[in-house]
């Protein structure tokens, strides 16, 4: 069946492919929507990703050759802007970035060549714009905090400037829409991520447990600590947390 995108040269962009999370679930849906579209990313570790990804056309940056890129990708934080800025996608008609980090900074215009860039924004880069929350939870202080400040300032400037070059923003929620407006000064439309509603439809034949359940990666920005703190004030309620970090 013909679609409005038939004949359109389209590229997908993702921050990194060395861990599974919600962003990667969204990417899988985008690949299903646009089969055959290349996926540009900073790095890719096949051993840590589903086997199906090996059938994709994944194109990595020079960061793929950096030591420890897969296990310690956070250590290379200042390098991501350079990696994506050097990713020239101006020969495409449409670029769709799936962003929570820096991938919205890809090059989409070079001379007279210009691709339309739509950014599906999972969130503005948390470490840059919600740094104080990170600093408190990770107990970053003293010399380390002082040393980070110049780098954070430069990265925020780059991140903001990259956001201004995006043609259209799409937010995953009204909360993210507000962050995009507050941080980048850009408007967006909201398109919620896909959810397997059949899988999560309650089965009337199964009894409901007497507890609340959180299934999540156990990493700081997921704020599982807030739920735990709340349940300390609800002695009659039980909270079960499933996941690892």
pLDDT in tens, the chain (245 residues): 445 577 889 999 999 999 888 899 999 999 999 999 999 999 999 999 999 999 999 999 999 988 877 777 777 788 999 999 999 999 999 999 999 999 999 999 998 899 999 999 999 998 888 877 666 665 566 776 777 788 889 999 999 999 999 999 999 999 999 999 999 999 999 999 988 877 777 778 888 778 898 988 787 777 888 899 899 998 888 999 998 76
The predicted pLDDT at position 139 comes to 59
What's the pLDDT at 2?
A: 42
Measured distance CA(24)–CA(18) in Å, rounded: 10
Whole-number Å distance between alpha carbons of 23 and 237: 31
For residue 164, the model assigns a pLDDT of: 98
pLDDT at site 1: 40
CB 27 within 8 A of CB 113: no
User: What residues contact residue 23 under an 8 Å CB cut-off, 6+ apart?
Assistant: 14, 15, 98, 100, 122
Backbone angles phi, psi at 97, to 5 degrees: -100, 140
Task: Name the β-bridge partners of 241.
Answer: 214
What's the pLDDT at 183?
97
In this structure, whether the domain defined by 10-190 belongs to CATH 1.10.3720 is answered with: no
Q: Are 154 and 103 in contact (CB under 8 A)?
A: no
- Is 203 within 8 Å of 121 (Cβ atoms)? no
Single out the residue of 83, 84, 66, 85 nearest to residue 75, CA to CA. 66
Give the C-alpha distances (Å, rounded to integers) separating 64 from 104, 141, 148, 215: 19, 31, 24, 31
Strand 113-114 versus strand 109-110 pairing type: antiparallel
DSSP string, 39-89: EEES-B-GGGS-GGGGGS-EEE-GGGGSTTTTTTGGGGGGGHHHHHHT-B-
The residues spanned by each domain of the chain are 10-190, 212-242
For the chain, the residue count is 245
Residues near 200 by Cβ (< 8 Å), separated by ≥ 6? none
Contacts of 103 (CB under 8 A, 6+ apart): 13, 14, 15, 40, 41, 42, 84, 97
**pTM for the model:** 0.83
């Amino acid at each position: 069946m013909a679609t409005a995108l038939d004949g359109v040269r389209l590229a997908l962009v993702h921050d990194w492919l060395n861990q599974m999370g919600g962003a990667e679930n969204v990417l899988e849906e985008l690949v299903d929507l646009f089969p055959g579209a290349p996926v540009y990313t900073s790095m890719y570790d096949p051993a840590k990703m589903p086997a199906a990804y090996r059938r994709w056309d994944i194109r990595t940056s020079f960061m793929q050759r950096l030591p420890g890129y897969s296990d310690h990708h956070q250590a290379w934080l200042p390098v991501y802007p350079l990696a994506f800025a050097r990713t020239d996608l101006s020969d495409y008609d449409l670029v769709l970035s799936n962003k929570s980090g820096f991938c919205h900074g890809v090059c989409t215009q070079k001379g007279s060549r210009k691709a339309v860039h739509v950014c599906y924004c999972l969130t503005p880069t948390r470490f840059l714009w919600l740094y104080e929350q990170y600093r408190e939870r990770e107990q970053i202080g003293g010399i380390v905090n002082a040393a980070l400040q110049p780098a954070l300032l430069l990265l925020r400037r780059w991140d903001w400037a990259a956001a201004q070059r995006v043609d259209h923003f799409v937010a995953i929620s009204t909360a993210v829409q507000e962050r995009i407006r507050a941080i980048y000064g850009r408007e967006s439309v909201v398109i919620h991520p896909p959810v397997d509603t059949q899988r999560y439809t309650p089965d009337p034949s199964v009894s409901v447990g007497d507890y609340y359940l959180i299934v999540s990666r156990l990493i700081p920005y997921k704020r599982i600590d807030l739920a735990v703190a709340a349940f300390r004030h609800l002695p009659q309620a039980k909270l079960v947390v499933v996941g690892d970090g």
